[in-house]
Amino acid sequence: MILFVGTIGILIPGVQPVVLAALLAEQHITLTQLGHAASVELLSMGLAAALAAAFLPPRRLPAIACVTSLVLAAGNWLTPFAMGEMVTAVRALTGFTGGILIWVAACMIARSAAPDRWAGIYLTVQTLTQLLFAAAMSVWAEPKWGAQGDFALLAVAVLTAGFVIWRDNRTGAVASTAARSPIRSIAVLPLANHSGDSTQDYFAEGMTDELTTAIALTIRG
C-alpha cells in the first residue's frame, strides 16, 4: 500500500512536461499559462504536504488516501476539458491532493517496521514509475488520443491505486479487529531446567512465575 500511495502522489513531476506540452499543442493553454499551471501544481503539492504534516493527526490514513485518490483522479480526468487559467485551477487541486498522498506515504513509511528499507524502495519505484508513464504517454496514449489519453492514463492509475488501498484497508481492518479481540485466558507451561544443574531449578521456577504475573497484568489491561 505504501508504494501505491506514494508513487501516485508524486507521479506528476515526472510526467508534467509531457502532459502540459500536450495541452499546449492542442491550444488549451498558452506558453505563459503552461508556466502558471506547472508552478502552481508543484507549489500546491509542497504546501499540502507541509500543512498535513503540521496539522493533521496520522490517523485513518487509508481512508484519507482513498478519498484523496478519488479527487485526484477526477482532477486528472477533467484537466483536458479545461481551457486557459481554468487548467491552472484544476492542476492546483490535483497538486494539493498529490501532496496529501505524499504525506500519507511518509506517515506509513515512518510507522512501518523498516522505514529505511521502505524509503529506499519508494524512491526507486517512484522514479521508475515516472519514467514508464512518461514513455507510455509519449509512445502510446498521446499519439492515439492526444492530451485526453495522457490524463485518462493518470486517472486510471490513481483509481487503481485507490482501489488497492481500499481493498488492503478492508483486509487489514478485519485482521486488526481480530487482533484486538480480548484475550480472556492463557496457559503458561512451567519452564524446564535443561542445564543439568539442579541448583538452577529456582531460576526456571522464578521465570515461570514472572511470566505468569506479567501476562496476567497485560490481559487485565
136-146 pLDDT, tens per residue?
A: 999 999 999 99
Q: Which of 209, 154, 150 is nearest to 11 (CA)?
A: 154
Q: How far is CA 179 from CA 130, 170, 174, 218, in A?
A: 37, 14, 9, 15
Confidence class of residue 86 from pLDDT cuts 50, 70 and 90?
very high
Q: Does the pTM of the predicted model rise above 0.75?
A: yes
Judge whether 98 and 45 are in contact, CB under 8 Å: yes
Domain ranges of the chain: 2-179, 183-221
Which of these CATH numbers, 1.10.3720.10, 3.10.520.10, 3.20.20.70, 1.20.1250.20, describes 2-179? Answer: 1.20.1250.20
Reference 39, options 104, 92, 103, 107; nearest CA is 92
